[in-house]
Amino acid sequence: MFVVRCIVGTSAKSLRQRIKLQSRMSTLPRPLAAVCQVTATPDKQANLSACKELVEEAKARGASVVFLPEAFDYIGSSREETLSLCESLTGDTMSQYTQLARKLEVWLSLGGFHERGHDWESDRRIYNSHVVINDKGDIVSVYRKSHLFDVELPDKGVSLKESAFTIPGPSLVSPVQTPIGKVGLGICYDLRFPELSLALQRSGAEILTYPSAFTVATGAAHWEVLLRARAIETQCFVLAAAQVGRHHERRSSYGHALAVDPWGEVLGDCGGEKPGMMLVEIDPEKVASTRRNMPVQQHRRDKDFYQSVEET
């Protein structure tokens, strides 16, 4: 059984939902993850306040790990504004999140931080960094987005070139041991590359996370089907925090923060209209039984076999 509660907008304060969830939690020892949905703007302080409220609510409802989406810190209205607002990992924004994690004794997955690049002073370029903080307030992992969203879809009104100001990350990082299991880290556009998810699964991931800011057009077409595909092929839970709604006059996001189980079943969806969150119980036995009953990885041929088509 799984606990899934979507708490969107003002319903987050519902006493009825609180009582129901606490009643269920009293009989369920498995850990809860909170998957969040936000509407970031160029106002960093307002974004921090909104995310802090969600984290506090998630902790009050029993979550041990809280997932925030890509660009949780801000979404700029131009390249110049985006670069002017970025910080280092030792800056004020990350300091406030480490303090929050320590105060609440909760793990945080911060799904896409605008981090100043290694040659910031000379080239003014950044990383899109997924930062994991433990319940003591320590940064335990940083994954820098590997695949950058350079896409022109004129018929759908989509035109973004992330590489204009972002540096691709140098490598994947090992899955992180958290209270809900081993979490493999991706970011948004990484979702379209199954090689990444399979590499994380081979390295021990039981849960994959793709914090995102999908466009409305690409989200409507591909978001759910890609997340379910990644879950099915790796037999992992997939948790995907999301941006939703209008960030500024030039950009909106699809929303539908999603949780998927290792069989590919959608456990929860936060919808496409408002900020909110859902709580999901993570059962490690679901991963084990799915892999045991359908041992896909044991049936996989060696690497040379899959390369042979290129040589014939």
Tens-binned pLDDT, residue by residue, of the chain (312 aa): 344 545 554 344 443 444 344 444 445 568 999 999 999 999 999 999 999 999 999 999 999 999 999 999 999 999 999 999 999 999 999 999 999 999 999 999 999 999 999 999 999 999 999 999 999 999 999 999 999 988 878 887 777 788 888 999 999 999 999 999 999 999 999 999 999 999 999 999 999 999 999 999 999 999 999 999 999 999 999 999 999 999 998 899 999 999 999 999 999 999 999 999 999 999 999 999 999 999 999 999 988 888 888 665
Q: Where are the domains of the chain?
A: 4-310
Kindly state the helix (H) or strand (E) to which residue 116 belongs, with its residue range: strand 107-116
- Contact call for residues 248 and 75 (beta carbons, < 8 A): yes
CATH architecture of the domain formed by 4-310: 4-Layer Sandwich (3.60)
- Give the integer Cα–Cα distance in Å for 14 and 181: 30
Cβ pair 282, 288 in contact under 8 A: no
pLDDT over 70, % of the chain: 90
Contact indicator for 74, 42 with CB cutoff of 8 Å: yes
Q: Is the pTM of this model over 0.85?
A: yes
Known catalytic residues?
70, 145, 188
| Identity of the amino acid at 55 | V
b/e code 215-231 from CB counts within 10 Å (16+ = b):
bbbbbeeebbebbbbbb
